[in-house]
Amino acid sequence: MKGNPYLFAAYAATWIIHIAYIGTIVSRYARLKREIDELKKPGLRSQEKPEARS
């Protein structure tokens, strides 16, 4: 198999799309983890900016 720019572009594009999507899942996990840690702190949330969640 010789190097073909179209073939390379198609395979690269496929993996860039999949990796980018996995990246969004990982970042959403990280954000949720922070939220969960915040929720676990007892009594803190009720004292902090109550309008933030409205």
Partner 1 sequence: MSKLFFIFALLTLLLLGYALHAALVTAPTERTMGDVQRIFYYHVPSAWTAFILFFINFGASVYYLIKRNPTADIVALVCAEVGVVFCTVVLITGPIWARPVWGIWWTWDMRLTSTLVLWLIYVSYLFLRRFSSSGQTPTLAAALAVLGALCVPFVYFSIWFFRTQHPQPVMGGGGSIDPRMLHVLLINWLAFSCFAFLVCWSRYRLERLQRDVDHAHAMEALRDPRGKLR
Residues contributing to the site for partner 1 (CB under 8 A):
1-2, 4, 6-7, 9-11, 13-14, 17-18, 21-22, 25, 28-29, 32, 35-36, 39, 43, 45-47, 53-54
Query: Minimum Å distance from CB 20 to partner 1?
Result: 9
Beta strands in the chain (DSSP E): none
| Contact residues for 38 (Cβ-Cβ < 8 A; gap 6+) | 44, 45
Cα Rg of the chain (Å, integer): 21
